[in-house]
Structure 1
Amino acid sequence: MTALKDLGGRRPSYRERVADALRAALIAGELRPGEVHSAPGLAARFGVSATPVREAMLDLAREGLVDTVPNKGFRVTAVSDRQLDEYTHVRSLIEIPTTAGLAATADPVALEALRPVAEEIVTAAAAGDLIAYVEADQRFHLGLLALAGNAHLVEVVRDLRRRARLYGLTALVEQGRLRESAEEHLELLDALLARDAETVREVMTRHLGHVRGLWAGA
């Protein structure tokens, strides 16, 4: 099981640390759809009491990542192809026009500040580090959307990403195909800095379609 870690610059609660580690375990495939896990069983893995684990699992249940199973614990939810299509469709309605609009409005300094994050994504993809990939990918996309100045929009996309869970990443690493998607982040940044809205729209459309196509292929 993924080790617990600190969140940001403050001391996180056990509940936050456990929830973060559980999300990472879902991404890495350590907790698989359909499996049922008890709070005491997971607590033993983390070396903490069952209470913060139970609280963390309730947080994940609200995010749609697990379902409660009376008298047993929590079942990891499966995501159907139809749901993935719906999540991708909603993301495209939000992210493509919003990101294209940033070509005219975003501060070049703020855009350049995202380049190290884009490079982290490529590095993580090359190393096959799924957890680092997803963490950097989320920071990049949510950081980019935040430049539009709409905090609610960012939260909506954050929730969609959590629900989709970027299925298929393990298979993509094994196939050596993850780096293709990773490098699109750098391509997107270059188009934004060039103030080329049409290219931004094309790259974002391709990127979201690419990701959904990779899920399907996996």
Structure 2
Amino acid sequence: MTDDATMTATETSESRVERAYEWLLAEITGFRVRAGSPLSENKVAGQLGISRTPVREALQRLEKEGLVKRTDNARFTVSQINSREVNDACDLLEVLDTYLFRKASSKLTDDDIAALLANVAQMSQSALDGDRAKWAEADTAFHRLVNTVADNQLVASTVKEVRRRIQRFWLRAASMEHRLETCSEEHRVLAEAMIAKDYDAIGPAVVEHIEHMRTSMLDMLASAALLFGDEQ
């Protein structure tokens, strides 16, 4: 087999793994599968029209990110979450988000500022409409922009994984029905602090935002509507 042929085969394999990964990620973060639910390699492979191998590799990738775990019989299930993980994740986000927002603030261009404000406006409108899906899209775009401008791939990657692990549950919380408008306002405050290069204001704004997310998550875990196992 030639080098070109080998490369083509590799790219095709990687593409299938990526497709399986993105599909599984959407299923998990879109709440179409609950915490603790089993994930069948055969079923996923059949739905996507691919072999089990790329599905298994995608599941292994999600396992490293903490979104799935293996049971004693080596099968994959959607990871559960407990209060310790929520607290650990929020503690880490407070530190890393503060760094990213301050770093991005020092490098914002006029186009970045316009995009940042457009994301905040979309969040506010989606909150008024009660559209969680659109709000989540704007929130993702907001943080993606900050991560891109800050330009620290290691920190951004860590934050993305940590945020993904807890936000898949956070947006589902019943309390979010009343939190979207407030949360949109918190993003507006962050955006304005960044645009003004008010580095002293960025830290407290990040902490306030993360603390509200922490409270919502812990309240949800304590409720009888959604239990994630014995370890709370």
What is the alpha-carbon distance in structure 2 between the residues aligned to residue 174 and residue 99 of structure 1? 24
Q: 1:123 to 1:194 in 2, by over 3 A?
A: same
Q: 1:55 to 1:193 in 2, by over 3 A?
A: same
What is the alpha-carbon distance in structure 1 between the residues aligned to residue 213 and residue 114 of structure 2? 24
TM-superposed CA distance for 1:21, in Å, is 2.5
Q: CA RMSD in A?
A: 2.8
What is the alpha-carbon distance in structure 1 between the residues aligned to residue 132 and residue 45 of structure 2? 25
TM-superposed CA distance for 1:64, in Å, is 1.4
Larger radius of gyration: 2
Residues 68 and 78, structure 2, Cα contact 8 Å, conserved in 1: yes
Q: 1:133 to 1:17 in 2, by over 3 A?
A: farther
SS of residue paired to 1:75: strand
The amino acid of 1:42's aligned partner reads V
The 5 Å alignment of 1:1-218 reads 13-44=15-46, 46-51=47-52, 52-69=54-71, 73-125=75-127, 126-130=129-133, 132-172=134-174, 175-218=177-220
What is the alpha-carbon distance in structure 1 between the residues aligned to residue 158 and residue 202 of structure 2? 21
Deviations along 1:90-143, whole A, 9 cap, x unmatched? 11112124423544453343232222233343444444343x444432332232
Which runs of no fewer than 5 residues in structure 2 stay unpaired? 1-11, 221-232
Give identity over the alignment, percent. Answer: 25
Q: Name 2:4's counterpart in structure 1.
A: none
SS of residue paired to 1:204: helix
What is the alpha-carbon distance in structure 1 between the residues aligned to residue 96 and residue 150 of structure 2? 11
TM-superposed CA distance for 1:213, in Å, is 1.5
Q: 1:38 to 1:211 in 2, by over 3 A?
A: same
TM-score (norm. length: structure 1): 0.78
The amino acid of 1:179's aligned partner reads E
Deviates most, 117-126 or 149-158: 117-126
The amino acid of 1:49's aligned partner reads I
SS of residue paired to 1:143: helix
Residues 108 and 193, structure 1, Cα contact 8 Å, conserved in 2: no
Deviations along 1:56-102, whole A, 9 cap, x unmatched? 22221121111234667311111211111111111111212442354
TM-superposed CA distance for 1:207, in Å, is 1.0
Residues 173 and 216, structure 2, Cα contact 8 Å, conserved in 1: no
